[in-house]
Amino acid sequence: MTSVPDIALSVRQPSAWAIIHGGKDVENRSLGSIRAGRMRPGRIAIHAAIGMKQAEYDYLVWRWARDGVAVPRPDELPRRAIIGSVEVVEIITESDSPWFGGEAGLLLRDPAPCDPIPASGELGYFTWEAGGTLAEPLPWMRKWGGAEGGLFGDLPVGFATPPVKPFGRTGK
């Protein structure tokens, strides 16, 4: 990829990774946040937010594994960085996509990864500037799955019971 759009949308990991690498074709948002964030069709950069909660990560890893999507370990996901771009095709309120699960969403296509570019994020669409450093993994991210690079570090993590869904209807 030769250039990254100036306008970006910040998305928490692992959803940002799934948009660029995992086939996630809808980014769920409320209609209010779409209006307030001045979101509209066009090519945008995807910013991996600095925030990532373990409960969200656990649920999404479990949920997406059902569809054959294997998410990288949390300590391997870049945060506080532009990680690629995607075309926003339209704003939708209905979809058959397994990724749709809210009041509304951005229909996405044609993801293009880039090497992580450290940058701060904002709410809604924003003009980003390169700067700073990638976010360091938090302690829970390094310890996730009990692996910490140990004997079973490459095995997929299993869940005895499904994790509790930590947010609204997103991710069905």
Q: What is the mean pLDDT, run by run of 10 residues, along the chain of 172 residues? A: 86 95 94 93 97 90 85 95 98 94 94 97 95 95 70 52 61 43
74 close to 141: Cβ distance less than 8 angstroms: yes
Domains of the chain: 7-146 (2.30.130.30)
Q: How far apart are CA 78 and CA 82, in angstroms?
A: 9
- The pTM of the whole model exceeds 0.95: no
CA atoms within 13 A on the CB side of 49: 16
Provide the pLDDT for residue 46: 98
Provide the pLDDT for residue 165: 65
Provide the pLDDT for residue 63: 83
Provide the pLDDT for residue 67: 80
Sheet bearing 104-118, strands edge to edge = 26-29, 104-118, 81-92, 42-48, 7-11, 125-127
Provide the pLDDT for residue 141: 93
Q: How far apart are CA 84 and CA 21, in angstroms?
A: 10
Provide the pLDDT for residue 167: 60
What is the tens place of the pLDDT at every residue in 139-151? Answer: 999 998 765 444 4
